[in-house]
Amino acid sequence: MTLTVTPTQTILHALNPNSAHPLAWQGPLESLCYHAEEIHAALLETQRPVYVLLHQGQVVATHEGEVVPARFSQDGLPALAPLPALPIEQLGDPAFRTCYGLKYALYGGAMANGIASESMVVALGQAGMMGSFGAAGCSPARVEAAIQRIQSELPEGPYAFNLIHSPNEPSLEGRVVELYLKHGVTVVEASAFLALTPTIVQYRAAGLSLDPDGKIRIKNRVIVKLSRKEVAVHFLQPAPVEMLSQLVAEGRITAEQSALAQRIPVADDITVEADSGGHTDNRPLVCLVPTMLALRDEIQARQQYEQPVRVGAAGGISTPSAALAALMMGAAYVATGSVNQACVEAGTCEYVKNQLAKASMADVMMAPSADMFEMGVKVQLLKTGTLFPMRAQKLYELYTKYNSIEEIPVEERTRLEQQILKRPPEQIWQDTVKFFLERDPQQIERAKDNPKRIMALIFRWYLGLSSRWAVAGEKGREMDYQIWCGPAMGTFNDWTRGTYLETPSNRRVADVALHLLSGAAYLYRIQQLKLQGMQLVSELEQYHPQRPLV
């Protein structure tokens, strides 16, 4: 492995030291690194400055000494590329880290059914990052148990809890918000929202007050994950007066909180979600981040908030290159998702983790979602090791073609019962009634005298349980596992191939996150060298995880 410079630059710095703003290095010669491995190791120590120099016609590097203008040094070595220290703690927006009490500008996004588990949230929190518990799909009792455990293990934080928009179960959304308010959960990651709902506005406004200096104190923070401008507009602006007034009338917030909510945006942070696992619009990150930053700046110019809404990036953040690209586009922070699901702490079974560890970038596809099935909304899933995506698509085709289970032709219905549902639809309906009478009775009320609605709920039984089977490792249902996954998983596998992180049992969520950030800082240094005219061998342009960082 070698590090070279172009002939032009060698001549420029070695033979003509008085040309445009030359620099010289002064320091102990015994500190110089001559061999490629030593230079590589020096560049990896991003928390320390490093100086790339020319000594006797050879490129060398050192952490020691100092760089000064050449005119002040008679015997200093030509400094080809002085690189300042870049601790990974400095990546991203310091306001984001300060707001949530973080060491690093990274958080682990929520994955439903507790896949983003208590263990994952705690591991990230203890390492100076933040995790969002995957509350979507969990019963209120399960969410409450998670709150109690996480708060006991991270009494000072940081942690977040997911609040997923539930258009088919608005009362459930409300019950989850009541839990968050009851237990003092002060950070919510809102996802899958199509517009504002009274519940998310209530959560935001209920934490507002004035401090002794007359400034607004925001107790309840909102990070919203989205990919559409028309949705972002709602969260970048104050909550609608009509909605706030209704909440006051219902006694869910005070008049003072309503007035304060009209002076701040609904969200503190927008996580721009590009092509990802689960709910996704498959948008490219390089288009989405600049668009949202421009929208944020436009609204900020009008509203003049004391603290502008920050914009972070998610979707595809599975390699140091991706993390660096997002930060260079202006993202205040990065959020990880698919890669966390393959980690030890993920609340899913070993079969799923092993399948994810084998995935390539092309091993994903879109299929109907369980929570927004009737609306035709889709999620991105792993298509290898399971037949779920194809079977889910078949259910949606039947739903759009027929008005009831009874309308489905006998032969088609037999295949449905034997190959997919594996139970008579009548039995499934009985279980569905029992389930919703405990969880959300309005679902059953709306299905009365509506056979198409009944068919939808029967199909949603399969769609909903398929993800739970994957979490629990339900034997005999492997081909029905619903495994949320984006193309980032395949890219992560490519990056870690041949390293200790290739093995699923070695993948720990905080360690993976630290390698993403460490690699981003290292690759930034490599780009700095290139911008200063350096020519590097390809091996030096890569960052590979060599050992655990936690």
**What does the pLDDT read at residue 8?**
38
Tokens of 72: 């002040």
Looking up residue 102, the CATH number of its domain turns out to be: 3.20.20.70
For the stretch 275-316, pLDDT in tens is 999 888 899 999 999 999 999 999 999 999 999 999 999 999
Residue 56 in any domain: the answer is yes
DSSP 270-286: EEEE-S-SEE-----HH
Task: Report CA torsion sign: 131, 133, 134, 135.
Answer: negative
- Say if residue 96 is in the same domain as residue 75: no
Residues 6+ apart with CB under 8 A from 100: 107, 130, 157, 158, 187, 221
Whose structure tokens read 């000072």? 156
- Say if residue 268 is in the same domain as residue 372: no
Residue 198 in any domain: the answer is yes
For the stretch 177-205, pLDDT in tens is 999 999 999 999 999 999 999 999 999 99
- Say if residue 315 is in the same domain as residue 428: no
Task: State the average pLDDT over residues 133-153.
Answer: 96
The DSSP letter of residue 418 is I
Residue 126 in any domain: the answer is yes
Question: Which of 296, 326, 348 represents a domain boundary (last residue)?
Answer: 348
Task: State the average pLDDT over residues 86-100.
Answer: 98
Domain count of the fold of the chain:
3
Residue 124 in any domain: the answer is yes
Residues 6+ apart with CB under 8 A from 265: 235, 236, 237, 238, 299, 303, 305, 309
Amino acid at 499: T
- Say if residue 334 is in the same domain as residue 399: no
Closest alpha carbon to 174 in 150, 149, 143:
143
Residue 503 in any domain: the answer is no
- Say if residue 48 is in the same domain as residue 94: no
- Say if residue 434 is in the same domain as residue 474: yes
For the stretch 380-434, pLDDT in tens is 999 999 999 999 999 999 999 999 999 999 999 999 999 999 999 999 999 988 8
| Residue 54 CA, distance from chain mean position | 42
Question: Which of 348, 374, 400 represents a domain boundary (last residue)?
Answer: 348
Residue 498 in any domain: the answer is no
For residues 219, 223, 229 and 235, what is the CA-based torsion angle, rounded to 10 degrees?
A: -20
- Say if residue 370 is in the same domain as residue 391: yes
Domain that holds residue 334: 90-348
Question: Which of 460, 480, 500 represents a domain boundary (last residue)?
Answer: 480
Tell me the backbone φ, ψ of residue 272, rounded to 5 degrees. -75, 115
- Say if residue 83 is in the same domain as residue 97: no
- Say if residue 124 is in the same domain as residue 137: yes
- Say if residue 335 is in the same domain as residue 468: no
How confident is residue 3, by pLDDT bands cut at 50, 70 and 90?
A: low
For the stretch 5-47, pLDDT in tens is 444 333 223 333 344 448 999 999 999 999 888 999 999 999 9
> What is the 3 state secondary structure string of 307-369?
CCCEEEEECCCCCHHHHHHHHHCCCCCEEECHHHHCCCCCCCCHHHHHHHHHCCCCCEEEEEC
- Say if residue 103 is in the same domain as residue 14: no
Range in 399-413, 440-454, 505-519 with the lowest mean pLDDT? 440-454
Residue 550 in any domain: the answer is no
Q: How many CB atoms lie under 10 A from the CB of residue 497?
A: 10
- Say if residue 431 is in the same domain as residue 319: no
Radius of gyration, CA atoms only, the chain: 27
Residue 7 in any domain: the answer is yes
| Residue 414 CA, distance from chain mean position | 41
The structure's pTM equals 0.91
Q: 209 by DSSP, 3-state: which?
A: strand
Task: State the average pLDDT over residues 214-218.
Answer: 95
**What does the pLDDT read at residue 443?**
80
